[in-house]
Structures are given as structure tokens and as C-alpha cells.
Amino acid sequence: MNGLNRRQFISVMLTAGGALLVGLRHAAAAFQPKVPIDMLGEALTSLGAFVRIERNNRIVIGARGCEIGQGVITSLPMLIAEELDADWNRVRVEQLPYGYEIGPDGETNRYGPQGAGGSTSITDGWKDLRQAGAVARWLLVEAAAQHWQLPHDRLATEASHVVHPDGTRMPYAELAERAAGVLPPPEPVTLKKPEQYRVIGKPAKTVDARAIVTGRAIFGIDAYMGGALTAVMLRCPHLDGSVDTVDDTQARKVPGVRDVFVIDGPVPGSSFDTNLAAGVAVVADDTWAAIKGRSALKVTWKPGPWTQESSTALEARAAEALKGDGVSVRSDGDMAAARKAAKRTLQARYQVPFLAHATMEPPHALIKIEPDRALFIGSLQSPGGASTVIANLTGLARDKIEIRMTRAGGGFGRRLENDYVAEAVMIAKKAGRPIKLMWTRDDDLRHDFYRPYGLHQLSATLDRKNQLTGFAHLCAATSMNYRIARKKERPPGQGCLEADDFPAGLVPNLDKRFFSLESGMPRGPWRAPLHTFHAFAVQSFIDEIAHETKQDAVELRLKLLGEARELDYQGHGGPKFDTGRLAAVLTRCADAIEWTRKRSDGRGVGIACHFTFGGYAAHAFEVSMDGRDLRIHRAICVADVGRVVNPLGVDAMMAGGTIDGISTALNLAITVKDGQVQQSSFGDYAIGRMAQMPHEVEVIVLPSEREPSGAGEMGIPSVAPALANAIYAATTVRVRKLPLLGELNRLL
Amino acid sequence: MPQANAKIDKAATAAAAVVPGPIELTINGETFRHTGAPDMPLLWYLRDVLRLTGSKYGCGVGQCGACTVHVDGKAQRSCLLPMSALSGQTITTIEGIASGDDLHAVQQAWIDEDVPQCGYCQAGQIMATVDLLKRKAQPSDADISQLTNLCRCGTYPRIRKAVKRAAQLLADAKAAEAKAAEAKAAEAKAAEAKS
């Protein structure tokens, strides 16, 4: 059934059909607050939750996702437009709000899944949005069939017209009213075959690019509300610390400052269901007054339980932890026996630091709370989470909470948590006014759900022919599943070490173990969380094995991957991992960088590949050192993400992921000292600038007939190891600690 | 201009708390009078008072460039410019570089190369590029590498292409203009000869 089960199908049908019938019989009743007026238009011409047809035959399509830069405002409507046979050049896209409602069977979302995380938007939309478009098209064709007194299947559609067998074309607009009265199809509509695609697979530019380049696009931070005051917070710099004394005399004297009050933090050890840190809120007429008021505060803190925590101590504890037994994540064969029988054992340790998300648009929230309802406007990745947080803190029912998502200035996982939403609610309740909460950059870097810190110890056992007989991956890390209620039941290693990742299933003896490290740092997912976290270690180590055993690093990987076949993969992105697809991106990447060509002039080439969330990617770089700086002469990214919905979008994600990967691998680390995060600006958390970047990322996307996998995260995990491997090739210095540049200069 | 007056009134009301003497400046061709805090950075005046939200907050300390505007034609980071320093100055923001519906060549190039991902830094990138192309009509790769605006999504390669495309669009427009002027001059000459 095209990936939809019967129940999902009925829900699509109810939205598609239900709204129509309402539209016909009770036009006024269709004006529910959750449907933006733009989408409703004339109720008679609305074909379900996603499609409206204007009188001039322009099609308006609702975009349900959270647009964080991954392009879903373009790609998800493309799926609908394809099956609707809409003229893409005349489609206008409108952002949909969060669609929570109480249906006959309880809680539901009239638009389906809306969150942005795990590269799932396209895979989800592939299942239900095409069907939604196909149903709307079916209704229009049925209307034409009734009009022309012809059987449904003698009619065709093209570019927002129904086509009569004699070639007569009738615009959808002329059929919309009749279509709104047609009973929906009794069965799922058959979807197009790929050879019929007119929109999917064709490059489509960002639909709201014109608004972006003219400064008219509204991001969450650009939203204002009559009567709202602006709030900034001075948060406790100590992990789990609290407010001791507050002298707000000077702050209150700042013109425009209206109020100053303490906001409590979560109880140490309790789950992060609300805000992240205790602090003092300054509420003012505008942002500048609030910032000035904050600067004038005199606050002392109680440091809390983590005063001994530091990155240096954490590194020592990680090394110590590896001496223990840990928790087994996967064990194949007998690794201990393999060690005994080995002709040779190689071992190396790799370190990855805490990372901040540093979304270009910092966290913010605009909220109005009334006795019987609330309105939230802002940049989100998890509107469902925001809705829950607001409901929990206000006591309002979730269907009384309206959430309008805006274009978001980046996400990278930061906005999967809604601590800043909670904070805004807490402040608004105290202030008794609508609140626009603003975070400054130092707030953002010092208070985040950081990508975990980890120490990976990898060992390989080799027989006399240098064949890999065993592989052990021990990972000591600050678990990602820390104080997040919904992750409580998950094993601590999840998010840091995946049982079935490469080379699991490819070596006879395998031992993967996780060692949990205590830390007061809040942790969370950071773009391709698990995979950026460990691919650096695994893919660097494979390179080391190749060099140590005098094998070609590409050949070694291909030999390990073996013949093309599917292996079981339990983690996100499964249920299968296709060794042939990973081998294909690696091979193509090696060809593109001319892997076998010897380099001179201090240049070196490195390569790596990884499987992330159902997609396959390989990176290769050609680098040289220029004093203390690294020059990247060529950057290649080869990806197989299944069928491509928007080639321009996938290219953007791969190139962007590569640049993000380079910037992060070279420069970025969050460190902690005396229980306080040490970074607070782009000076000490130095996102890469143009001058540091390759001029071009050569993106090659392999054609595929497989179902699309999404593309937001596949383009980053293999970057750091490919860079480290290239640095080794250029300098013979093996960098085993991120960020690379500082460590490389230390070693040189 | 009644519209401009209305804006002055709005601005004045919003910042009526302190009156240390008004600061008059021109923004996108309209005159505004700021009567609020003189140390308020231009960025917050644009955003919170005038609701010109195209210029973005990214760091507040001049490191990221998301707030880039033009002050008397030169790119500046508006988060660091106190209103008190701007009396009599002419400001252009991202909202002010197109002529009506006709986009600036840099804006058009940004669309043509499909540069934006999240889009948040792009107004600043565009304003920095307009400034660069004024100084270097045909920028080299090294010139383009001097752009210091941060992009967290990693759009730098497409920005580079768009800068080059914009330079070409501007050069083409200039050539077309010169050609038109030449034709006009020739026409005038011919008319003169005729008379």
C-alpha cells in the first residue's frame, strides 16, 4: 500500500475529504485556528490539508516541516506537487503551523510528522505526502469526469490541468469547486511510476529565496507581538548552580527595564523537562534595554555539585574507565581468543570533544499566554516537544496551544530541545505579559545540550597474512542519554556507539563496549549525532591499519566490505546496511580524487566513508600545510541517498555538510573548567570562515532507484576522518584528537 | 512623505523614555529621528524600533557579520555602531538595495546560485558582497576569501560562485548601459548632422 498502512491512509483521507465536506456544508466551521487563513482561502477550493487552488489556477501547497536550512520547505511540497501534477513554476508554498488536534481516536496531527531530526522528513513525506497529492489530483479528475461525463481513467493531468481525450485542457481552478463535493476515493490512489515524474528529481530552487535575499523572510527572532516585552537572562555559569544573591538596583535604573526576577533552574539530577539553568531574567521594552539591564546586574552564584569538573579531568577519567569492563554493545566470535592467536595487534585512541550547536540564529521564543489559550511563534525542530512543554508549564490543553513555526536560522539538533521555550513560558508567567525571549551568543555557547565527549580505543588483530581477524571498539563517553526523560529507558551507549556500524558483521571477532562517564554537562544530539561522534575514530583507525600493514586504504575497506550484500542494522537508518552501496560511494570517491596518483609538493590525500541514517557517503580531501594552516586543495563528497527528490537540495546538504564538517573538525571544541563552560563567542568557538574553506566541494550523487533516505546528515560523518587521513598523508603526523588543527600544531 | 513621517512618529513613541537630543539619520532613503538610548546599537534600532528585521543578530560583538549594513556606502557591522555615532549618516540595509521589484545584481546572483540554506546569515553576506564589488569589480578568489561573514550551514562554495556571478551581472549591465549611451550619443550626433 505504498508504504502506508490502512490507519494512516484513513487519516490522510479524513483530512483530505473531511475538510472538503465541512467546506461545502459549514463553510464557517472550517475556520479553525490551526489552519492559517492563507491556506484556507475560500473553503470551497481547499483540497485537504495541504492543497489550495486559487482562481487564477495558481496552486498553494502547505509545507509541514520545520525549515532549518535542510530545504524541506521546498522538497516536501515537491512530493505533493508531483502527484497532484501541479505546474511547479506556478506553485506557491506556505509554511503550515503545528497541526495538533484531538481526533475521533484521540491525539493526532492533521499534517502528519512535522519535526526535523534524524534526516526523516523526506522518508516520512515519501510515504504520506505523495498520497495526499495523489488524492487531491484524484478528486480533480473525478470532478472533470463528472463534468465531461467520461470515465475517470480516460482523463489525464498535466501542469495543473485535466486533459480530455480530445486534448482539451481544463484548469484545476475550474474544477476545484466541484472537486470539493466529490466523495474521496475508497482505496489508496496508485502513485506515479518514476518515469512519469515531472517534479521529483528536477532541480528546484529554494521557494522563498526571494524573501531571504530581500530581508523579508521572517525567522523566529524576527517575530514581534503587540504588548510583548523583551527578556534576556543572566544564567548561572556553573553547571547545576543556583542564584545566591541578586543586586538589581542599577539594572532597574536602566531606562526601559520593567522588571527583574529570579528564574529557578532544574533540580540537579532531575530531567531537563523545563529550562537548563537558573538565572536572573531582565524584562524590558526592547532588546538593548534588556541587555544593558543584564550588564548592570550584580549576582553571586552557588556553584553546585560540579565544581571539580574539567575537560582535563574528564580525559583522565575516560582513560581510567577503559580499564573496567564496560557494557557490551555487541560481541561476535571470541575477541579474547583472536587477541591470543593474533600475529599482530594494533591499537590507538581517539578523542572527540564536546561541541555546541551554535545555530546562527540563537535560541529565542515569543509567547503569549492567556487564561484559556497560548500562542507561540519561533524557530523549532520539535513543535510537538514545544507544545508539550508549554502545556506542562501552563496547564493548558495542547489543542489550546497554537504553535507557528518560522524559518529557522539553523538547527543541527539544538532545537530538538525546548528549554528556551520553557524559559520563555516561565518568564511570561511571572511577568504577566507576552514575552519575547532573546539569547545572546554567549548564552548560546555556555548553555547548550552539547554533543558528548568521548574517548575511543580501537584495536585490531591481524593474522600472518595481515588479514583482520578481530576488531574491538571501546568507547568511554558522557552518554547522550542524560537527564532527558524520553531517553531514560535507552541504553547509555546509544547515541555514542552503534552495535551494527562498520565493521560489525565484516570481521569474525568483534567486541564493542561502552563505558559511561559522569559529567554535569547537558548533552544532546548534534547533526548526525552518533556518526560524527565515532566515524572519526573508526575511519581513522582503518587508515592506520592500512599504513601499518602496507595495504592500500581503499582496497582494505573494499576487502572488508566484501561482496555487495545487505547486513542487519538495528539502529536508526536500518533495517539493512548495504555493503555494496558503501563500496560504490568509496570507489567513486577514490576515482574522483585520483586516489592512486602520487602527490608531491607536500600534498596528501585522505579518504573515508560512512553509513548514516540510511544514506551512504564518502569524502576525500587533498591537503597541504601552509605554515600553521591547512590548505584544502580539493574536497570531494560522494553520496548515495536513494532517489533524489531535489538535486539542488541534496547538493546543498552534501556541500554544506562537508563545509560544516571541515569547520568543526579543524576548529571546534567546547571545554569545561571548574564546572563552567569556557567558550563564549565566535572568537573562542571559531566557526570556519571563507578563507579557511575549499573554494569548491565537488559533490557527486550516485543515481539510485531506492527509496530516498533524506540528506541532512549524511554529508558530515566521514569528513573529519578523511581530513585526518589526508593530514597524515601530507605530513606523516597522525592526529587522533579533535579539533584537528590545534592538535596538529601541537604535534608538529 | 507622509509614510516617513508616520515612521518617525512611531520611532519616537517607541523610544520616548529618554530624550538626550534626537539623532537624525537616513535609512533606505527615509529620514528617521531617534530619541531613545544614544548607545543603542544601530542593529537594535533597525530591528526593535523600525522592524527592519532583515539585518540579523548573530553575536553582538562584530564577529559574525549577520548584521552587516552600509553606512555611507561602506559595509559595517551594525551591532557595534551606537546610534550616537550615526547622526547625519546614510544607512542602507538589505531591505534597501533593490530598486522596487528589480533586485540588486547580488541578490539576483544569490537566487540564481540557490545560495541560502537556513538563510539567516545571507542578508549580511549580500551586504558584504555589494561592498566588495564596489571596491573590486572583478574580485579574484583571494579577494572573495576576504569576506569574513560566518555561515554555519556551509554555503561558502555557493557564495563564492554567486559573488562571481554578481560581478558578471554588474559588468554586463555596465556594458549594456555604455552601449545604450553610445547609441544615444550616435543618434544625437546623427540628428545634429541632419539639422
Residue A131 scores a pLDDT above 80: yes
For residue A216, the distance in angstroms to the closest alpha carbon of chain B comes to 6
Selected for mutation to probe chain A from B51, B52, B57 (highest A CB count within 10 Å) is B57
Express each pLDDT in A570-586 by its tens digit. 999 999 999 999 999 99
Q: What DSSP state is assigned to residue A409?
A: S
Measured between alpha carbons, how far is residue A728 from residues A430, A603, A724 in Å?
A: 57, 10, 6
pLDDT score, position A46: 67
Q: Quick check: B125 contacting A, CB < 8 Å?
A: no
A91: confidence class by pLDDT, cuts 50, 70, 90 = very high
**Is residue A341 scored above 60 in pLDDT?**
yes
Cβ(A217)–Cβ(A46) below 8 Å:
no
Q: Which three cell numbers stand for residue A124?
A: 516520512
Does residue A507 carry a pLDDT above 60? yes
d(CA B190, nearest CA chain A) in Å: 43
Task: Say yes or no for a CB contact (<8 Å) between A222 and B47.
Answer: yes
How many contacts, defined by CB atoms under 8 Å, are there between A and B?
198
Check CB contact under 8 Å for A288 and B48: yes
Q: At what angle do helices A72-84 and A121-148 cross, to 10 degrees?
A: 30
Which has the closest alpha carbon to B55: B112, B96, B113, B104?
Answer: B96
Mean pLDDT calculated for residue range A626-649: 97
Q: What is the mean pLDDT of residues A330-347?
A: 98
Task: Show the beta-strand stretches assigned E in A439-582.
Answer: 454-462, 468-477, 509-516, 566-568, 576-578
pLDDT at A616 over 50: yes
Q: Looking at beta carbons, which residues of chain B come within 8 Å of A648?
A: 114
| Element housing A615 (H / E) | strand A615-626
How many helices, marked H, and strands, marked E, lie in chain B? 6, 5
| Average pLDDT, integer, range A408-426 | 98
Query: What is the per-residue pLDDT for A45?
Result: 57
Task: Classify residue A279 as exposed, middle or buried by CB count within 10 Å of its CB (0-12, 13-18, 19+).
Answer: buried
C-alpha cell at A672: 569545561
- Closest chain B residue by Cα to residue A688: B150
Contacts of A221 in chain B (CB under 8 A): 53, 56-57
- In DSSP notation, A220-252 reads GGG---TTPEEEEEEE-SBTT-EEEEEE-HHHH
pLDDT at A11 over 50: no
| Cβ–Cβ below 8 Å for A656 and B148 | no
Residue A652 to residue B159, Cβ atoms within 8 A: no
Q: Given A216, A224, A690, which is nearest B156 (Cβ)?
A: A690
Provide the pLDDT for residue A18. 31
Q: Determine, for residues B47 and A215 on separate chains, whether the beta-carbon distance falls below 8 Å.
A: no
Query: Taking CB atoms and an 8 Å limit, are B114 and A438 in contact across chains?
Result: no
| Tens digit of pLDDT at every position of chain B (195 positions) | 334 444 444 444 444 444 457 999 999 999 999 999 999 999 999 999 999 999 999 999 999 999 999 999 999 999 999 999 999 999 999 999 999 999 999 999 999 999 999 999 999 999 999 999 999 999 999 999 999 999 999 999 999 999 999 999 999 999 999 999 999 999 999 988 887
- Please list every residue in chain B whose beta carbon sits closer than 8 Å to the beta carbon of residue A293: none
Burial string for A690-725 (b: 16+ CB within 10 Å, else e) reads bebbbbebbbbbeebeeebbbbbbbbbbbbbbbbbb
The nearest alpha carbon in chain B to A698 belongs to B157
Tell me, what's the pLDDT at A180? 80
> β-pairing, A373-378 with A454-462?
unpaired
Alpha-carbon span A422 to A348, nearest angstrom: 43
Span A106-134, average pLDDT: 92
Nearest chain A Cα distance for residue B177, angstroms = 25
Q: What are the φ and ψ backbone dihedral angles of A158, each rounded to 5 degrees?
A: -160, 130
- Single out the residue of A146, A144, A188, A181 nearest to residue A13, CA to CA: A188
**Range among A51-65, A108-122, A217-231 with highest mean pLDDT value:** A217-231
ipTM: 0.94
Contact between chains at B111 and A695 (C-beta distance less than 8 A): no
Residue type, A304: G
All cell numbers assigned to A145 = 469526469
Q: Is pLDDT above 80 for A22?
A: no
DSSP string covering B74-133: EEEEGGG-BGGG-TT-EEE-GGGSSBTTB--HHHHHHHHTT--SS-TTHHHHHHHHHHHH
> Testing the interface with A: which of B34, B68, B113, B156 to mutate, by most A Cβ within 10 A?
B156
> What is the pLDDT at residue B81?
98
Q: Which residues of chain A are within 8 Å of residue B70 when distances are taken between CB atoms?
A: none
Q: Cell digits for B52?
A: 527592519
In angstroms, the separation between the Cα of residue A369 and the nearest Cα of chain B is 22
Condensed to tens digits (0 to 9), the pLDDT of residues B32-51 reads: 999 999 999 999 999 999 99
What's the whole-number mean pLDDT along residues A240-261?
Answer: 98
Q: Please tell me which of the candidates A292, A360, A663 has its beta carbon nearest to residue B120.
A: A360
What residues of A are in contact with residue B121 (Cβ under 8 Å)? 360, 409
Q: Do A68 and B118 touch (CB under 8 A)?
A: yes
The answer to whether the CB of A374 falls within 8 A of the CB of A225 is: no
Residue A262, H or E segment:
strand A257-263
- Any bridge partners for residue B26, and if so which? B31, B90
pLDDT, tens digit, 9 for 90 and up, residues A524-544 = 999 999 999 999 999 999 999
Interface contact flag, B58 A360, Cβ < 8 Å: yes
Q: Could you check whether the bond before residue A739 is cis, i.e. omega within 30 degrees of 0?
A: yes
Chain B residue with minimal CA distance to A436?
Answer: B48
Task: Give me the pLDDT at residue B1, please.
Answer: 33
Angle ∠(A472,A473,A474) on CA atoms, nearest 5: 115
Angle at A187 between CA A182 and CA A191, to 5 degrees: 95
Mean per-residue pLDDT over chain B, rounded: 91
Average pLDDT over residues A399-419: 97
Taking an 8 Å cut-off on Cβ atoms, the answer to whether B119 and A407 are in contact is yes
Are B103 and A210 inside 8 Å of each other by CB?
Answer: yes
Mean residue pLDDT of chain A comes to: 92
pLDDT, average across residues A211-236: 98
The structure's pTM equals: 0.93
Reported confidence tier of residue A485, pLDDT bands at 50, 70, 90: confident
Residue B18 contacts A where some CB pair is shorter than 8 Å: yes
Q: Which three cell numbers stand for residue A349?
A: 585512541
Nearest to A697 among B54, B151, B157 (CB): B157
CB nearest to A213's CB, from B41, B126, B141: B126
Name the residue in chain A with its Cα closest to that of B64.
A682
List chain A residues with CB under 8 Å of B57.
Answer: 221, 287, 362, 438
